[in-house]
Amino acid sequence: MPHARRLLPFTVLLTAILAAPAFADDWETCAKGKGDDAIAACTRAIKSGTYTGRVLALAYSNRGVELKAKGDVAKAIADYDEAIKADPQQSAAYNNRGIAYAAMASYDKAIADYDQAIRLDPKYASALNNRGLAYFNKGQQQRAIADYDAAIKLEPDAVRLNNRGNAYANRGQYDRAIQDFDEAVALDDKYAIAIYNRGNAYFAKGDPDRAIANYDQALKLNAKYEDAYVNRGVAHERKGALDRAIADYDAALKLEPKDAVAYNNRGNARLKKGEYDRAISDYDRAIQIDKKYVAAYFSRAIAFEGKNRLDLAVADYSAVTKLQPQNAAAWNSRCWAHASMGRLQDALADCDEALKLKPGYINALDSRGFVKLRMGKYDEAIADYDAALQIDQKKVASLYGRGMAKRRKGDYTAGNVDIAAARAIKPNITAEFARYGLLPPSIDAQSRTN
């Protein structure tokens, strides 16, 4: 079932607000104040008509910082525009406007501004760090690392080390990422974000125990670290500790009752416990919060299959194919559900689509073999099972299905070989196929005595 984990680059964007000359009280408040008071003081200074050039640029830039902090990004950008007009040499205005563009996910514009800030001040560590983060968000990890390297060389600090660790982790270089997170924590042993990210790296390496230890440490530093509860829950679930996982998802939902990821993950843990109704309730909540949450639709479909509500499972798989038409797994799963309901033509169309999207998809080959078996097209079923078994010779459903198809063609000797191989791997495979009405022919007992 699809699982959602948070592997986000938690960072602090470092702005560089130049200190303004203390000409008057408004200047003091504009330069050093916060929020509405600072905005009002900067506005009075700007409107006074007294200041021009660098000093006027500082007033605009500082007001822009406070507007951005209030979430008014468009007005902040307008102020940075004015700051740059008043003083085109003010590197901080370019850096701050870059941060505002990045907040809007306009990463190319952000990078252009960081470029200019760095041209004006090649030792501007904050701009280098911020450009690295923009490249990170564009998926250009190597360029991000180069910028973080430069920023760390100029001004080492825990935030930049954490950011570089995230970039290495995104490249799959988990040991190198952990080294950066270690160094970040060595500089600031209360930096819960770096400890949390180190946990993510250990989890990605396949070490849930060390991941849990790091999440524990992060939560000791910040008991309201909701993402740490979510990811610790995933780590507990990986270890099979489903009740502990559920407890962590519960804690996350107390902190953030509208967290669709936590509902989805708690649903997954309950699904593994066979608590289908409670799992479905959690997936319902996840979907209510995020109507485009593909993972929740997919998992809810699996839960409906567990309750033998195949009609509802088909509806959820259909929702996935609408949201993600290229999702071969959804087409395959709907194929299997249709086949289980006896809707064989619908099933065949779905399996064909899955294989069109993902040629050689072993699960879809197996599913289509099952459909052809139920349709009585034994040669075609055997061909699909053969293709699946070329990929994985121990694919138990394909072994059993091929055996059934061979026996129904009258080749009992070859069929029995396949079925025996399947039963050796999974003794209850006959019962599974029997649920779909696929029982061994009555001649089976006689053939085994010969």
**Would residue 49 count as lying in a domain?**
no
Give residue-wise pLDDT tens across range 119-135: 999 999 999 999 999 99
Range of the domain at 442: 325-450
Give residue-wise pLDDT tens across range 391-440: 999 999 999 999 999 999 999 999 999 999 999 999 999 988 888 777 66
Q: Identify the domain boundary among 312, 340, 368.
A: 312
Q: Are residues 284 and 341 in the same domain?
A: no
- Cα separation of 318 and 334, whole Å? 7
Q: Write b or e for each residue in 293-311: b if 16 or more Cβ atoms lie within 10 A of its Cβ, otherwise e.
A: bbbbbbbbbbbbbbeebbe
**Would residue 23 count as lying in a domain?**
no
**Would residue 376 count as lying in a domain?**
yes
Predicted local distance difference test score (pLDDT) of residue 15: 37
Q: Are residues 329 and 450 in the same domain?
A: yes
- Cα separation of 347 and 337, whole Å? 8
Q: Are residues 339 and 448 in the same domain?
A: yes
Which residues make Cβ contacts (< 8 Å) with residue 29, sequence separation at least 6? 37, 38, 40, 41
**Would residue 171 count as lying in a domain?**
no
Q: Are residues 434 and 410 in the same domain?
A: yes
**Would residue 259 count as lying in a domain?**
yes
Q: Identify the domain boundary among 281, 312, 343.
A: 312
**Would residue 34 count as lying in a domain?**
no
* Count of domains observed in the chain: 2
Q: Write b or e for each residue in 356-388: b if 16 or more Cβ atoms lie within 10 A of its Cβ, otherwise e.
A: ebbeebbbbbbbbbbbbbbeebbebbbbbbebb
Predicted local distance difference test score (pLDDT) of residue 2: 44
Q: Give the residue from 30, 75, 32, 73 showing the smallest Cα distance to 48.
A: 30
Q: Are residues 246 and 329 in the same domain?
A: no
Q: Are residues 351 and 447 in the same domain?
A: yes
Q: Identify the domain boundary among 248, 279, 312.
A: 312
From residue 174, give the alpha-carbon distance in Å to each of 152, 214, 229, 351.
19, 15, 21, 37
Q: Are residues 302 and 343 in the same domain?
A: no
- Cα separation of 45 and 230, whole Å? 47
Predicted local distance difference test score (pLDDT) of residue 181: 97
Predicted local distance difference test score (pLDDT) of residue 450: 31
Q: Are residues 300 and 341 in the same domain?
A: no
- Cα separation of 20 and 28, whole Å? 8
Residues in the chain predicted with pLDDT less than 70, given as ranges, are 1-24, 439-450
Q: Are residues 300 and 342 in the same domain?
A: no
Q: Are residues 301 and 360 in the same domain?
A: no
Predicted local distance difference test score (pLDDT) of residue 86: 87
Q: Are residues 357 and 425 in the same domain?
A: yes
Predicted local distance difference test score (pLDDT) of residue 299: 97
- Cα separation of 400 and 404, whole Å? 6
**Would residue 438 count as lying in a domain?**
yes
Q: Compute and round to an integer the Cα radius of gyration of the chain.
A: 30
Predicted local distance difference test score (pLDDT) of residue 13: 35
Q: Which residue has the tokens 């010779």?
A: 393
Cα dihedral 233, 237, 243, 247, rounded to 10, equals: 10
- Cα separation of 113 and 13, whole Å? 15
**Would residue 340 count as lying in a domain?**
yes
Give the number of other Cβ atoms within 10 Å of residue 427's Cβ: 9
**CATH number for the domain harbouring residue 270:** 1.25.40.10
Predicted local distance difference test score (pLDDT) of residue 232: 98
- Identify each DSSP E strand in 207-324 by its residue range: none
Predicted local distance difference test score (pLDDT) of residue 446: 37
Q: Are residues 274 and 347 in the same domain?
A: no
Predicted local distance difference test score (pLDDT) of residue 34: 87
Predicted local distance difference test score (pLDDT) of residue 398: 97
From residue 276, give the alpha-carbon distance in Å to each of 113, 215, 355.
52, 29, 30
